[in-house]
């Protein structure tokens, strides 16, 4: 899980990319990077940590140009602390390309061998993003030769990329002197949305001054474009949501702001990642036509029905969420069950999301720094705590302990997602089944580990119905709940390899 953005602007793009990255910061906090194109010159800045603290004025001044992209990283491949593995990645041939990627490739071993023996390209990291970039560069080189690079040639190259790589990927690439390219995996597992806004006279006035100063064409585009992981980036920036980029589709926007698109994969279907709706995405985003907030409300309603079956009504007085992503579900649980909704946990907003922190030890230390239980809300009460999911159990166990320490008489715990029993290999950091508290354990086993009086999970079918509602999707990527991997290439041997690679 990472956050990616790309902009084609009439004027300077650096601030737009920065502002957009702030809006997807929840998708990654290990590192961040921005790249811009000033004609045929590429500029790049990569930093450790979060966006607001990472960039200085001098960094922004050096990011010249009207086309740019950015990334916030949550490491699922490579090393979280290694800035050499932060995105964007760059290759100088052909043309000069920088690329950002959200997701995970599942055939990295084969691709690495091909890079060495067939493509004769050097890899300088263990990142699958660098692999993806070199596959794209090699496909462009094979396809174009001495031919002028146009949209048709780019789309042919993306078709080759789809034929070579497997897994989940949302990609944005900047091709120096040409424009911005974006494409999405053929199953639409990872999200990518396209937006535009008209160039107003206010925008045009600032853009003309900038373009004249930097020797750019004085012909302004009629529209500015943005591609991003989540729709909230578009709405906050005043962009119209054009549409989701379709599974397997590629979109190319040239330097003059002309947009072209083409389907580049032969076998496509829409099977979005369920975990986006459970936890990853911000509630104010709309993904694949479904409001994340409304999906979480529906999950809460179905969870309430499950709680009613398994927890005696007099075993809890109040319903409390774990802030922030569990709030919609908890509100709906309280409303459906006719119980009082209370906020018992105060969140320290200066500590990042514990689920996406790199390493179990760091997560364990961060839970009590992140959350504080208010004694006045717990003392003498029987509480039902709602969380969006239970993954490793680290956070949940400490939350239960905090509730009892704050004076709760009884603690019931409910997850608005099913038990996470299997590794996730499509861009979420759950590569090792042994780290998952529900792996090879019953609900009762997990309850004893967490130390609560009752434990309730939402069912898989209930979750799928709540998320998909009345959509015409082809399915939902739920591998971490069901063990069924939609790309069809994930074997037990591969899962053992991924788990071992993560440990090393």
Binding residues: 325, 387-388
Distances (CA, A) of 256 to 53, 172, 227, 237, 245: 33, 18, 16, 20, 21
* DSSP code at position 215: T
Please confirm, yes or no, whether 2 is among the known catalytic residues. yes
As a whole number of angstroms, the distance between CA 101 and CA 86 comes to 11
- Kindly write down the DSSP assignment for every residue of 236-271, as one continuous string: HTT-EEEEEPPTTEEEEEETT--EEEEE--SS----
Alpha-carbon Rg for the chain, nearest whole angstrom, is 23
65, 11 in Cβ contact below 8 A?
no
**CA angle 351–355–358, rounded 5-degree value:** 80
Look up residue 30 and give its two tokens: 């290990």
CA-CA-CA-CA torsion for 331, 337, 342, 348, nearest 10 degrees? -50
Q: What is the 3-state secondary structure (H, E, C) of 382-447?
A: EEEEEECCCCCCHHHHHHHHHHHHCCCCEEEEEECCCCCCCCECCCCCECCHHHCCCCCCCHHHHH
Annotated binding residues for Mg(2+):
325, 387-388
As a whole number of angstroms, the distance between CA 159 and CA 183 comes to 10
Tokens 């578009």 -> residue: 234
Look up residue 9 and give its two tokens: 């602007």
Q: How far apart are the first and last CA of the chain?
A: 20
Distances (CA, A) of 149 to 71, 138, 139: 26, 14, 12
As a whole number of angstroms, the distance between CA 328 and CA 331 comes to 5
Helix (H) or strand (E) holding 293: helix 292-310
Considering only CA atoms, which of 15, 13, 47 is closest in space to residue 32? 47
Q: What is the 3-state secondary structure (H, E, C) of 71-129?
A: EEECCCCCCCCCHHHCCCEEECCCCCEEEEEEEEECCHHHHHHHHHHHHCCCCCCCCHH
As a whole number of angstroms, the distance between CA 68 and CA 58 comes to 17
Strands laid side by side in the 89-91 sheet: 89-91, 97-105, 167-175, 179-184, 249-254, 259-263
Q: Name the residues annotated as catalytic.
A: 2
């Amino acid at each position: 899980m990472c956050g990616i953005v790309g902009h084609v602007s009439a004027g300077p793009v650096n601030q737009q990319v920065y502002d957009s990255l702030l809006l997807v910061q929840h998708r990654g906090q290990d590192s961040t990077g921005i790249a811009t194109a000033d004609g045929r010159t590429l500029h790049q800045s990569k930093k450790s940590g979060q966006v607001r603290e990472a960039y200085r004025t001098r960094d922004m001044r050096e990011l010249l140009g009207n086309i740019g992209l950015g990334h916030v990283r949550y490491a699922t491949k490579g090393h979280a602390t290694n800035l050499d593995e932060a995105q964007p990645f760059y290759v100088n041939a052909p043309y000069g390309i920088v690329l950002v990627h959200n997701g995970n490739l599942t055939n990295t071993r084969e691709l690495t061998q091909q890079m060495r023996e067939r493509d004769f390209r050097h890899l300088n990291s263990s990142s699958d993003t660098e692999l993806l970039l070199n596959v794209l560069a090699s496909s462009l080189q094979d396809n174009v030769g001495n031919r002028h690079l146009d949209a048709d040639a780019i789309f042919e190259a993306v078709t080759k990329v789809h034929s070579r790589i497997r897994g989940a990927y949302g990609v944005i690439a900047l091709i120096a002197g040409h424009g911005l390219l974006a494409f999405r995996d053929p199953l639409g597992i990872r999200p990518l949305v396209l937006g535009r806004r008209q160039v107003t006279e206010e925008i045009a006035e600032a853009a003309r001054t900038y373009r004249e100063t930097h020797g750019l064409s004085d012909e302004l585009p009629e529209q500015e474009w943005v591609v991003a992981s989540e729709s909230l980036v578009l709405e906050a920036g005043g962009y119209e949501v054009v549409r989701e980029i379709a599974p397997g589709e590629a979109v190319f926007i040239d330097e003059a702001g002309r947009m072209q698109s083409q389907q580049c994969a032969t076998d496509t279907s829409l099977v979005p990642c369920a975990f986006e709706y459970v936890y990853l995405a911000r509630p104010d985003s709309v993904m694949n036509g479904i409001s994340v907030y409304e999906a979480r409300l529906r999950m809460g309603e179905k969870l309430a029905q499950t709680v009613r079956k398994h927890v005696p009504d007099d075993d809890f007085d109040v319903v409390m969420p774990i802030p922030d992503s569990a709030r919609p579900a908890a509100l709906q649980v309280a409303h459906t069950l006719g119980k009082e909704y209370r906020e018992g946990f105060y969140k320290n907003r200066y500590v990042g999301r514990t689920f996406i922190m790199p390493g179990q030890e760091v997560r364990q230390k961060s839970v009590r720094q992140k959350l504080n239980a208010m004694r006045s809300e717990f003392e003498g009460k029987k509480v039902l705590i709602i969380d969006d999911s239970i993954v490793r159990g680290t956070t949940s166990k400490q939350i239960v302990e905090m509730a009892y320490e704050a004076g709760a008489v009884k603690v019931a715990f409910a997850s608005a997602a099913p038990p996470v029993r299997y590794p996730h290999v499509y861009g979420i950091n759950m590569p090792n089944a042994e780290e998952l508290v529900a792996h090879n354990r019953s609900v009762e086993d997990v309850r004893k580990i967490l130390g609560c009086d009752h434990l309730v999970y939402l069912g898989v079918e209930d979750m799928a119905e709540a998320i998909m509602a009345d959509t015409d999707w082809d399915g939902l990527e739920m591998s971490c709940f069901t063990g069924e991997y939609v790309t069809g290439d994930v074997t037990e041997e591969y899962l053992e390899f991924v788990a071992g690679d993560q440990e090393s």
